[in-house]
Structure 1
Amino acid sequence: MDLKLGGKVALVTGPAKGMGAAVSKAFASEGCRLVLLGRDLVAIEPVAANIRAAGGEVLVTACDVTSESACEAAVEAARQRFGGAIDILVNVAGGTGPIGKTGAQTSGDEFRDIVDVNMTGCFNMIRAVAPVMMAQNSGKIVNVGGTFGMRGRAGRVAYSASKWGLRGLTKSFALELGASNINVNCVAPGMVDGPRFRDKVCRDMAEKLGISEAEAARRHAEDYALKRISTDADVANACLFLASDASRQITGVDLPVDGGWAAL
């Protein structure tokens, strides 16, 4: 299917690694003109170089999503570079917060910090692009949440709360912006294969249970209906779908990309 994304201007937050890098490269492969936003420009540059080497157009701009003014400045920089339009926003930037701490053990600062990045950061970016998209009467906004924001998780109170909040943000903006032909949706990845999953999640389970890391990965996969762990590409493909006109009549939804865990 031709997603007809060629020439679209797409902003991606958190593009330096993992899902963010995969999303950035996926949109570039569809012919989008990319604006990559993040705090660490050095970390983003290899992704930008990869896109440029493949013939893509990309602007790398400094942006701390927890700062309203930084988000507004980044959007203005994108408009100056690519002629004013902002067609797509993909909010990937986020953090994990405390792991293994109960809510009672989580400090107020720890809680506020992760909510600020995972929820307020998305609010700031949407607020910055919304006037542009409303004026052009079109736009696609995709927030990357998580399945712990659909079922909750003991030991991940701050993270789960931030992702539950992001769902409400998504649905409210979908209702408010729909009249301007703007779709707002949320992709909710489950466990995603990669260094963090292998080196942290599987290693911790292996040490606690006295099993191999490979066996730990297999046990995680057994939790899912499809018996496999998602990849960065799976998440990127879901974002592409929700950013294209193939999903023109879909807004305000949570799309789990988890092999069948949160919704089953």
Structure 2
Amino acid sequence: MTEPAAAAAPSLSRAHLLTGFGAGGAIGVLGGLIGLGGAEIRLPVLISLGFNALPAIIVNRVLSLVVVAFALPARAATIPFAEVAGHWPVIATLLAGSLVGAWTGATFATGLASRTLFRAIAVLLIITAALLVAGGDPELRHMPIDGTVQLVAGVAAGFGIGLAVALMGVSGGELLVPTLVLLFGLNVKLAGSVALAVSLPTLLVGFARFGRDNTLGVIRANLGFLALMAAGSIAGAFLGGQLLGIVPSYVLLPLLGLILVLSAWKIWRHGNAAEA
């Protein structure tokens, strides 16, 4: 059962609206700089502003889509589209799993969204963060596999990421970037752009599958707030894309590791709340 659209729009003061714009900008910077949609960071902000659970998830999904859509071109000055397109086999491998995972996750969201699943994802994020920041050359920190094994692992990883996208309304960047670095050996800057190229169609599939819910009603009820936070997100994504050419990779990896740890903590707490 979905919440009525009329209950989806909290009464927001000017201070709340400014908070939304500022948070959108900050999260957009992460999208442009690292290749994340920022959903796990944005969701607590939306709840703190008075959004109920379902409207918060729907608004979060819309804003993730905005960040991902604008972050990819914002990064093009440093990571050209041609370089991203050159890794089409990697993109196709991950999409082969993520699109199915997003559709499956949206179909069986209620049954799959258990505390055990959320805790498993949280533990996976912690392990991934540890692997990313544990010494070594960021250009070479990847698993020594290739060929068919890498293909199967890529499709399986994509499926799991697609599930996360559908179940939690995230863009999947928190999982895609580490997968591209660890499994396919991409440097972290290139991985961010390739992750965005995978995230965009995966988000669209999950969004389309959820279309039977009162998504449009929630969007209409919160159109002004959405426009304001989206504007901040677009400006932030542009700024993050410009910073990409300045900030070195050895700074991005620990930053991504920190974001993974924070996301794991939030997902763990979300799992506890889902069980209550």
Q: Same fold by TM (over 0.5)?
A: no
More helix by share: 2
Question: RCO higher in 1 or 2 (8 Å CA, sep ≥ 6)?
Answer: 2
More strand by share: 1
Normalized against structure 1, the TM-score is what? 0.29
